C-alpha cells in the first residue's frame, strides 16, 4: 500500500468538463482513509483556487491545499533563481500574478526572463516578442511541454506546441518546470512530507505523468482515460508499475 499519491488532473480526473468514471470514487476512498494526496498538474492557466473550484463544481470533495500546479512550481523556481528580474510572460493573468508575487517585474517590453505557460489568447506578436527576447539572451522558462491535452471535444494544442515555436525560432531550449522534470516533483514531495518510495504517481500521459515517476524514482500507475492508450503503454521499453482502465479498479488499501 502506498502512503500517498500524486494525481494528474486532465485526462485522469476529467476530460474538459466531463468527470472520468471512477475518479470521484477514488478521491472519496483517499479521504475516507486519510491517505495524503496532491493533485500535480501541468495546467498553468488556472490559479490554485481556480483549479480547485473546478473540481468542487464537479462534485469532488477537495480543498485547495491538495492542489499543486506547474505555475506554482514555476513561481517558486523564479523566486529562487530570478528574484528582482523583469519577466515577459506568455500566459494567463493568474500566472502573471504568481510571478509578480515571486518578486519579479512583469513587463510587456524588454525583459531578463521569458516565461511561457499555456495562453489561449496567444497571438503571433506574443510569440514574436518571446522569440526576440530569448534570441537576445533572456532566460527561457516553460511551465511545461505538454503538446496536447484532452477536452470533451477532443485533443487541443498544449503549451508545448507554443513553446516549440520559440524553440524552433531561436534554437534555444527552456528550463522546464512541470512534469516530467524534477522541479515540480521535488517541490510536491516536500509539501507532502513523504519519501518518494512511499508515493505513487497517477496519470494518463506517458510522456509527462509516467515519465515523472520514472525520472524521479517513484512508482507509477497509468490510467487508460486520456492521452496515452494502453496499447501504446504496452509497447514502451520502460512500462509503468501498474495499469488500470480507470481508478475505480485501484484499491488504496492493498
Domain membership flag for residue 74: no
Tally the domains of the chain: 2
Last residue in a domain, options 176, 200, 217: 176
Using pLDDT thresholds of 50, 70 and 90, give the confidence band for residue 152. confident
Residue range 182-204: average pLDDT?
94
Which of 9-23, 145-159, 193-207, 209-223 has the least mean pLDDT?
A: 145-159
The whole-number pLDDT of residue 16 equals 87
Note whether 172 and 228 are same-domain residues: no
Using pLDDT thresholds of 50, 70 and 90, give the confidence band for residue 121. very high
Last residue in a domain, options 111, 146, 176: 176
Domain membership flag for residue 139: yes
Domain membership flag for residue 118: yes
Domain membership flag for residue 75: no
User: Whole domain around residue 104: which residue ranges?
Assistant: 83-176
Note whether 102 and 160 are same-domain residues: yes
Note whether 133 and 169 are same-domain residues: yes
pLDDT at 148 over 90: no
pLDDT at 150 over 80: no
The whole-number pLDDT of residue 131 equals 98
The structure's pTM equals 0.88
The whole-number pLDDT of residue 43 equals 87
Using pLDDT thresholds of 50, 70 and 90, give the confidence band for residue 151. confident
Domain membership flag for residue 123: yes
HEC per residue, the chain? CCCEEEECCECCCEECCEECCCHHHHHHHHHHCCCCEEEEECCCCCCHHHHHHHHHHCCCCCCHHHEEEHHHHHHHHHHHHCCCCEEEEECCHHHHHHHHHCCCEECCCCCCEEEECCCCCCCHHHHHHHHHHHHCCCEEEECCCCCEEEECCEEEECHHHHHHHHHHHHCCCCEECCCCCHHHHHHHHHHHCCCHHHEEEEECCHHHHHHHHHHHCCEEEEECCCCCCHHHHCCCCCCCCEEECCHHHCCCCC
Task: Kindly state the percentage of the chain with pLDDT values over 90.
Answer: 90
Using pLDDT thresholds of 50, 70 and 90, give the confidence band for residue 1. confident
Using pLDDT thresholds of 50, 70 and 90, give the confidence band for residue 79. very high
Using pLDDT thresholds of 50, 70 and 90, give the confidence band for residue 165. very high
The whole-number pLDDT of residue 155 equals 87
Using pLDDT thresholds of 50, 70 and 90, give the confidence band for residue 56. very high
Q: What is the CATH number of the domain that holds 183?
A: 3.40.50.1000
Note whether 240 and 218 are same-domain residues: yes
- What would the pLDDT profile of 197-243 be if each residue is shown by its tens digit? 999 999 999 999 999 999 999 999 999 999 999 999 999 999 999 99
Amino acid at each position: 500500500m502506498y502512503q500517498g499519491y500524486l494525481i494528474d488532473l486532465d485526462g485522469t480526473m476529467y476530460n474538459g468538463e466531463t468527470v472520468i468514471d471512477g475518479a470521484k470514487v477514488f478521491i472519496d476512498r483517499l479521504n475516507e482513509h486519510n491517505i495524503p494526496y496532491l493533485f500535480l498538474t501541468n495546467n498553468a492557466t488556472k490559479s490554485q483556487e481556480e483549479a480547485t473550484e473546478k473540481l468542487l463544481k464537479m462534485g469532488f470533495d477537495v480543498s485547495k491545499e491538495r492542489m499543486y500546479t506547474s505555475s506554482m512550481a514555476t513561481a517558486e523556481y523564479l523566486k529562487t533563481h530570478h528574484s528582482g528580474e523583469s519577466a515577459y510572460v506568455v500566459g494567463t493573468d493568474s500566472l502573471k500574478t504568481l510571478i509578480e508575487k515571486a518578486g519579479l517585474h512583469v513587463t510587456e517590453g524588454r525583459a531578463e526572463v521569458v516565461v511561457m505557460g499555456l495562453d489561449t489568447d496567444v497571438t503571433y506578436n506574443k510569440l514574436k516578442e518571446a522569440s526576440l527576447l530569448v534570441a537576445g539572451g533572456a532566460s527561457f522558462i516553460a511551465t511545461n511541454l505538454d503538446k496536447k491535452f484532452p477536452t470533451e471535444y477532443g485533443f487541443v494544442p498544449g503549451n508545448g506546441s507554443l513553446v516549440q515555436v520559440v524553440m524552433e525560432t531561436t534554437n534555444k531550449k527552456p528550463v522546464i518546470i512541470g512534469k516530467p522534470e524534477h522541479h515540480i516533483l521535488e517541490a510536491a514531495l516536500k509539501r507532502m512530507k513523504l519519501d518518494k518510495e512511499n508515493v505513487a504517481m497517477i496519470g494518463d500521459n506517458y510522456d509527462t505523468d509516467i515519465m515523472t515517476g520514472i525520472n524521479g524514482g517513484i512508482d507509477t500507475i497509468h490510467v487508460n482515460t486520456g492521452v496515452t492508450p494502453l496499447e501504446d503503454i504496452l509497447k514502451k521499453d520502460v512500462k509503468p508499475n501498474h495499469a488500470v482502465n480507470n481508478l475505480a479498479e485501484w484499491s488504496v488499501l492493498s
